[in-house]
Amino acid sequence: MASGKQHAWIGAGVAVAGWFVYCKLVERPLEIGEVLLAAGVGAIGGLVPDLLEPAIHPNHRRFFHSYIAGAILVHANGHLSRNTQVPAEARGTVHLASLGFLSHLLADAQTPRSLPWI
Per-residue pLDDT tens digits for 3-58: 999 999 999 999 999 999 999 999 999 999 999 999 999 999 999 999 999 988 87
Residue 10 lies in a domain: yes
Number of structural domains (the chain) is 1
Q: Which residue segment(s) compose the domain that 23 sits in?
A: 4-109
Q: What is the pLDDT of residue 73?
A: 98
Q: What is the pLDDT of residue 101?
A: 98
Smallest Cα–Cα separation from 104: which of 33, 57, 52?
52
Residue 47 lies in a domain: yes
Higher pLDDT, 59 or 6: 6
Q: What is the pLDDT of residue 56?
A: 87
Residue 117 lies in a domain: no
Q: What is the pLDDT of residue 57?
A: 82
Q: What is the pLDDT of residue 35?
A: 98
Smallest Cα–Cα separation from 58: which of 1, 117, 118, 5?
1
Residue 118 lies in a domain: no
- How far from 104 is each of 14, 27, 83, 92, CA to CA, in Å? 10, 29, 26, 19
Residue 37 lies in a domain: yes
Query: pTM of the entire structure?
Result: 0.94
Residue 75 lies in a domain: yes
